[in-house]
Every structure is written in C-alpha cells, then in structure tokens.
Amino acid sequence: MVAEDIGTRLRVARMQKGMSLRSLAGSLGVSASLISQVETGKTQPSVSTLYAIVTHLGISIDELLGVSVPTAPSAPAADSPAPIAASSIPGRASVQRAEDNAVLEMENGVRWERLAAGEGPADALLVTYEPGATSSVEGKLMRHAGVEYAYLLEGELTVQIDFDTFTIRPGDSLHFDSVRPHLYLNRSDRIARGIWFVVGRREQNQSMPAASGVGQAPPTSIGSAVDVLRAMDDLDR
C-alpha cells in the first residue's frame, strides 16, 4: 500500500468531516505541514500519529487500507445450488492469500499487514518492527480505544505500558486495555514480528460523534496526540 493511497483516504475523510488542515493539526498538537505531507504521501506517519488521526476522524483501519469487508451472501433460489468459491467456507469464513494482504508502511520501519477482514470486532494485523523502529519517534506513549492482544513470532520487542517495561521474545504474548499509555520499541539488531489483535476499536469509531468542523475551537487542554486519544475516550463516559 503506497503512502499516496493512505494520504488520499485521510484527506477524503478529513474533508467529509468538514475539517481544515489547520483545525485537524491543532487538535492533534502537530503542524499543518505534517498533516499535509502525510496526505500527499511525502512522509509516513508514526504509529502513534496515525492512531491519533484515524481516531479523531472516526475511521477504521479497514477504511484506511481500502479493505472491503465481506458481507453475507444472498440466499440462492430453492432450485439452484449455491456456488462455493475455492476460498470460501460456510459461515462467512474466508481465506486471504498472503499476496492480497493490504500493507501499510509507517515511519521509522514499522509495517502493518492487514490479515483476513471480516465483520467481527477485531483489527487483525501482522506487525513488523525493523531494528531501531518504534511506535513513536518522539517517544510519546499512545492511547486508543480497544483491548490489545499480541503474540511475538520472531525477534525481541520492548513494550512500555504505563510505568512498567517488558521485553517480549518469540512465544511470549501480552494483552492490555489500549487506553493505557503504551509504547513499542525494537532495541535489537533483528526484525521483530508478531500477530496483533485490537478488539473493540471499531465500535468506538462507530459510536463517536462527528469531529469538530471548520471554525470550531479544538477541545481544551489538548497538546499532543496522546491528549487527543484521551479526549476521544472521554466522549462516551
């Protein structure tokens, strides 16, 4: 997935919300120039910045990657058997080939591959951190809706959750409420790769009110992407 495709989808989502570059940037605590460069594909966002943008705009990872979520097939006529695709299994199960994975390359060597999409509540991702890669180049911890589950397949990854720091290795797994501030960092000289599931973030996006329009002041006490995510979490309380 090229950066221009992601940028175009972010720009369309922003315009559909009636937000200017400056108002979105002000809400996220970043420069309008950064948002513009992301939208035009001239730069790649970090994981924390991307989560802040999509959460503030209320869009899903599927929408960002242009993934079509399969819908239930219509019932066949009584006198004609339903065709069965080679990749289909009754009950809406499906097989997604590796070459069909939607891919998102982010700043500083972080790569997401969207695994088989469906109507369920989870974002399923194959996540790769190159040596030295981190979820936030500024070192800021991020927060977003949902519960995060991960299983490391290879390499070594440092995970900070609140004030606790863990090092996970192949076979290790973790889960935590994603509204807790967290950060990922590959301090090793080898690739770290694992399977991630974020459960519940989609429902948060669907229940969010529309983002602030042009001319409306951004929420108070917001100075960073982390603050935006916290403000979004507070909306439904």
Residue 36, domain member (yes or no): yes
Residue 228, domain member (yes or no): yes
Averaged pLDDT of the chain:
75
Question: By residue range, what is the domain housing residue 215?
Answer: 3-68+99-234
Question: What's the total number of domains in the chain?
Answer: 1
pLDDT of residue 156: 98
Q: Hey, is 123 helix, strand or coil?
A: strand
Residue 76, domain member (yes or no): no
For residue 91, give the amino acid letter: G
Residue 103, domain member (yes or no): yes
The reported pTM is 0.63
Instruction: Give the distance from CA 143 to its chain's centroid.
Output: 12
Q: Which of 29-43, 68-82, 157-171 has the lowest mean pLDDT?
A: 68-82
Which residue would you say has higher pLDDT here, 35 or 73?
A: 35
Residue 165, domain member (yes or no): yes
Residue 91 has pLDDT above 90, yes or no: no
pLDDT of residue 50: 83
Residue 59 has pLDDT above 60, yes or no: yes
Residue 56, domain member (yes or no): yes
Q: Where are the alpha helices (DSSP H) in the chain?
A: 3-16, 21-28, 32-39, 47-57, 61-65, 201-207, 225-234
DSSP state of 175: E
Instruction: Name 218's Cβ contacts closer than 8 Å, sequence gap at least 6.
Output: 23, 26, 27, 212
pLDDT band at residue 139 under the 50/70/90 scheme: confident
CATH no. for residue 174?
2.60.120.10
Express each pLDDT in 199-237 by its tens digit: 876 554 444 333 333 333 333 333 333 343 344 344 334
pLDDT of residue 202: 52
pLDDT of residue 4: 60
DSSP E strand boundaries for the chain: 88-89, 93-94, 102-106, 110-114, 122-129, 147-154, 157-161, 164-168, 173-177, 182-185, 192-199
pLDDT band at residue 152 under the 50/70/90 scheme: very high
Express each pLDDT in 80-90 by its tens digit: 444 434 344 44
| CA 57 to each of CA 50, 52, 65, 167: distance values in angstroms, whole numbers, following the listed order | 11, 9, 15, 33
Express each pLDDT in 1-20 by its tens digit: 445 688 888 999 899 889 99
Which residue would you say has higher pLDDT here, 59 or 117?
A: 59
pLDDT band at residue 128 under the 50/70/90 scheme: very high
pLDDT of residue 145: 80
pLDDT of residue 106: 84
Residue 142, domain member (yes or no): yes
Residue 82, domain member (yes or no): no
pLDDT of residue 196: 94
| CA 15 to each of CA 24, 39, 90, 187, 196: distance values in angstroms, whole numbers, following the listed order | 10, 12, 39, 38, 30
pLDDT band at residue 168 under the 50/70/90 scheme: very high
Mean pLDDT of 142-169: 94
What gap in Å lies between CA 48 and CA 149, rounded to an integer? Answer: 17
What gap in Å lies between CA 159 and CA 174, rounded to an integer? Answer: 10
